[in-house]
Structure 1
Amino acid sequence: MIVMKFGGSSVANHTQIEKVRAIVEAKRERAPVVVSSAHKGITDALVDAAKAAAKGELTRIDPAGLEPGPGAAALSKRGVFVDPIGRQRTILAELGCPADLLDAFFAELCDLLRGVSLVRELSPRSLDYVSSFGERMSVRALADYFTRNGLPARAHDVWDLGFITDDNFNRARPLAGWEADCREAFAKLDDALPVVTGFVGKNRAGDITTVGRNGSDLTAALLGGALGAEEVQIWTDTDGVMTADPSLVDGARNIPAMRFDEAAELAYFGSRVLHPSTLLPAMASDIPVRVLNTNRPGHHGTVIEQKAVENPSVATSIAYKEGQSVVVLRTTRMFGQAGFLAKVFAILGERGVDVDMVSTSEVSVSLTTADRAGITAAMPELERLGECELHHDRTILAVVGQHLPQRPGIGARILGGVADAGVNVEMISYGVDSINLTMLIADADIDRAVSVLHGMLFEAR
């Protein structure tokens, strides 16, 4: 058995979905389980609609479609409101699905958005519920299309296959022991190809949860571990894991094989290919993860496993994580005082603020987080401990490699290359026996820093 996860770009439209069908058909002898994301753009459109409803900015909420009201604020990052119902209907028509295939879902979504609009409140629980419609609709469209085109398939909501989670909305995880229920549920399935929702789950109370944005990777890895799969395949729109973000670096190269720890570092520090938590269940079960390109299925992609071959290169890849906020706390009360940092992290922990980088001296501590709202809310309490500065729009830039600490002068070369690009480094983290060197730079400097480092580390002769 293999688990094959297809992302939003892989199931974006009829052309891409036909590619997926052909790829899965070619793997039928390996008993595939398909995990699907929502069609590209649908989840963003659902979230935008939910936020618009909470602000009273939807004038029409019915199964025929959604419309923003006159004078509505910008409803998405792109400044354009996309009707998720209209977009889904277009995809159904492209695929030749029955026009009423998802009418029950459209009606359910509209009822939910009306409720949000009436109370003018969008809780984490309600947001998960709204966000779940993308995957729930996509698997039914895919299963219908596959079946009508010679590949008998059946859609499944993952909670019907044992995936019952905790109550941590937006970041849920399956409950301990769920694997046995999952194996029992799969044993009862018929011979039709299972097409399973990624990203979503349900708690014991029956409330829909999600595992976090781009979390279908994690669903696939968890299912792979529970079912003892031979391999978990993550199908994307790139040739596996690359030496840098190909949208920034034209010369970015495929990495044929890498270790779990390298891939985990890259995912955590912003690699766009894998969800940060994806590799944990695969590592625990020692199941290889293979990253492949839906648009070039013949490409070997990247295989990630515990015993990958040694990488002779100076570095494996460059990743970045933008949108960071940095706090600098200065006080002489830190000097020689045991437990001072514990007070700092207790304040952040109470607000669920996840810290990425930390740098300390005897009289100051600097730390970064992607949780802008959380760190802003924590500032009044932090200011009771000392003088604080808060800066936004920063990026963690990470160079990952198997043997960085054993390469004399590599740290100086990396920092020198960044300096030559005219980029200021505000913080550095480089631990003993670490496989990554991380730097904090301004968001505006990402392109220059990544391009220069890639040229130095991967393209120089």
Structure 2
Amino acid sequence: MIVMKFGGSSVANRGQIEKVLSIVDSARERAPVVVSSAHKGITDALVNAAKAAAAGELVTTPIDLQRQLLAQLECPVDLLDDCFGELSDLLRGISLVKELSPRSLDYVSSFGERMSVRAIADFFTRNGLAARAHDVWDLGFITDDAFGRARPLAGWEANCQAAFARLPANEVAVVTGFVGKNREGEITTVGRNGSDLTASLLGGALAAEEVQIWTDTDGVMTADPSVVDGARNIPQMRFDEAAELAYFGSRVLHPSTLLPAMSSDIPVRVLNTNRPAHPGTVIQKVAAPSPNAATSIAYKERQSVLVLRTTRMFGQAGFLARVFEILGRREVDVDMISTSEVSISLTSADRPALEAAADQLATIGKVELRHGKTILAVVGQHLPARPGIGAQVLGAVAGAGVNVEMISYGMDSINFTMLIDDADIGRAVKVLHEMLFAAV
């Protein structure tokens, strides 16, 4: 068995879905399970419709877009009438109370995947590949109550295995990514772009041969190809490298995708729907050594920085514990941190949470907030063994006229991270790619 996940751009329209059909049909002997995202643009339309409803305005954009897709695919006109009716009622209810809770937003957002799998399964079946749509919660995927970032409950795997064992062997299961249900039957989501995570969780639960992530790029690249024209494919990489890249902004994988695969030791293969013959990137526990000091460059923009300065932390045991207790209470997800005897600098993408924490941290020191920053990360398994690589990286960035405001590099770390201005992303990434990869 293999698990094949297709993202929004891969199922954006009839032309793309025809490619998906061909790819899945060619893998029929490997017992494929298809995990699908919403059609491109539908999730954004759903979120915008929910926000508009909370402001008292009812819009039909997501339903209109989905109807257009149904017409392209020549699906029965009434195929999604149940979904359309449920969504319309939900938006009307939100407009009446003028309140959009995380629970309601998850409910609205879930319709993208629920509608796409039904349309895709219908198209597959009418074009020679027997398929059936499944909401993943009907296959054992029951989650906690963390709306917007839910995770499956312990022991869910046994129910999942039993549910899949009952499915007809001659049908391809087309399963909703991104969504779940809690024990009370309320719809949850695992986080934006979370269909990758759904796929890897299913792959681990079902002991799949591999998990395939089908995207619109030739696997994982040495840099963002929209920034660097010469970005190239990485044939193989280790789990830990890919996990660092995903966390620090690589657009190819959801940050949590690799954790289930790592624990189950199942390879993850990243492939291009538009070029299915390309080998893409295989991510696994052990990878062939790379000739480069680095594997890839990633960046995570729109970061906020909090600087706390106080002489009270000088030689005072437990001071950092107090700081992080405040950050934890405000649910601040810290991405990067640097400390001295009298100051702490840290970054987070959650500006509102950081600003809330700043008010309380101001009682123990002077607090300064800065915004519009980017974490720039150079990732590679050989970094700890290459003398002078840090100096080369910083020299190249400085040569491009980019100021580095923070640095983080742990003992034996496989990532070297820097903080720069958002406006400097293009210059910094290009010069680093030239220095690290152009000569190879």
Q: TM-score, normalised by structure 1?
A: 0.94
Q: 2:153 aligns with which of 175, 182, 189?
A: 175
The offset of 1:116, in angstroms, is: 1.1
Q: Is 1:224 aligned with 2:235?
A: no
- SS at 1:9's partner residue? helix
Match of 1:451 in 2: 430
The residue aligned with 2:10 is 10
Does 1:338 find its partner at 2:323?
no
2:26 aligned residue = 26
The answer for the alignment partner of 1:392 in structure 2 is 371
Match of 1:74 in 2: none
CA distance in 1, matches of 2:230, 2:347: 30
CA distance in 1, matches of 2:63, 2:50: 13
Name the residue aligned to 1:96: 74
Q: Could you say which residue in structure 2 is the equivalent of 1:73?
A: none
Match of 2:35 in 1: 35
Letter in 1 for 2:37: S
After TM superposition, give the deviation of residue 115 of structure 1 in Å: 1.2
Correspondence 1:259 to 2:209:
no
1:152 matched to which residue of 2? 130
Per-residue CA deviations over 1:411-446 (Å, capped at 9, x if unaligned) read 000001110111110100011100000000111110
Question: Do structure 1's residue 162 and structure 2's residue 114 form an aligned pair?
Answer: no
Q: What is the CA–CA distance in structure 2 between the aligned matches of 1:352 and 1:126, rounded to whole Å? A: 21
> In the TM superposition, what whole-angstrom CA distance separates every residue of 1:310-365 from its partner, at most 9, and x where no partner exists?
11211100000011100000000010111111111111101111000010000000
Shift of residue 460, structure 1, vs aligned partner: 3.1
Q: CA deviation at 1:255?
A: 0.1
- Per-residue deviation at 1:150? 0.2
- Amino acid in the other structure paired with 1:43: T
**2 CA distance for matches of 1:85 and 1:437?**
45
Provide the C-alpha distance between the structure 2 equivalents of 1:440 and 1:104, rounded to a whole number of angstroms: 49
Q: How far apart are the structure 2 equivalents of 1:396 and 1:34? A: 34
Pair 1:208 & 2:187 matched:
yes
Q: Distance in 2 between matches of 1:120 and 1:333?
A: 47
Q: What is the TM-score of this pair, normalised by structure 2? A: 0.99
Q: Which residue of 1 aligns with 2:83?
A: 105
* Secondary structure, counterpart of 2:305 in structure 1: strand
C-alpha separation between the residues in 1 aligned to 2:407 and 2:152?
A: 35
Gaps of 5+ in 1: 67-82
1:260-279 deviations in Å (ceiling 9; x for gaps): 00000000000000000000
1:312-323 alignment, distance < 5 Å? 312-323=291-302
**TM-superposition CA deviations, 1:225-284 (whole Å, max 9, x none):** 000000000000000000000011110000000000000000000000000000000000
Consecutive aligned runs of 4 or more in structure 1 exceeding 2 Å deviation: none
State the alpha-carbon separation in 2 of the partners of residues 376 and 16 from structure 1.
43
Is residue 65 of structure 2 the alignment partner of residue 87 of structure 1?
yes
In structure 2, what is the Cα distance between the partners aligned to 1:338 and 1:118? 53
For 2:212, which of 233, 245, 251 is the aligned residue?
233
Residue 294 (structure 1) aligned to one of 270, 273, 277: 273
1:222 aligns to what SS in structure 2?
A: helix
Counterparts of 1:296 and 1:165, CA distance in 2: 35
Of the structure 1 ranges 344-353 and 157-166, higher mean CA displacement relative to structure 2 is found in 344-353
| CA RMSD, 1 decimal | 0.7
Task: Determine which of 152, 156, 165 is the counterpart of 1:187.
Answer: 165
The alignment of Structure 1 onto Structure 2 pairs a total of residues equal to 439
SS at match of 1:100: coil
Once residues 272 and 50 of structure 2 are traced to their aligned partners in structure 1, the CA distance between those partners, rounded to angstroms, is 32
| 1:23 CA displacement | 0.3
- Tell me the CA shift for residue 52 of structure 1: 1.1
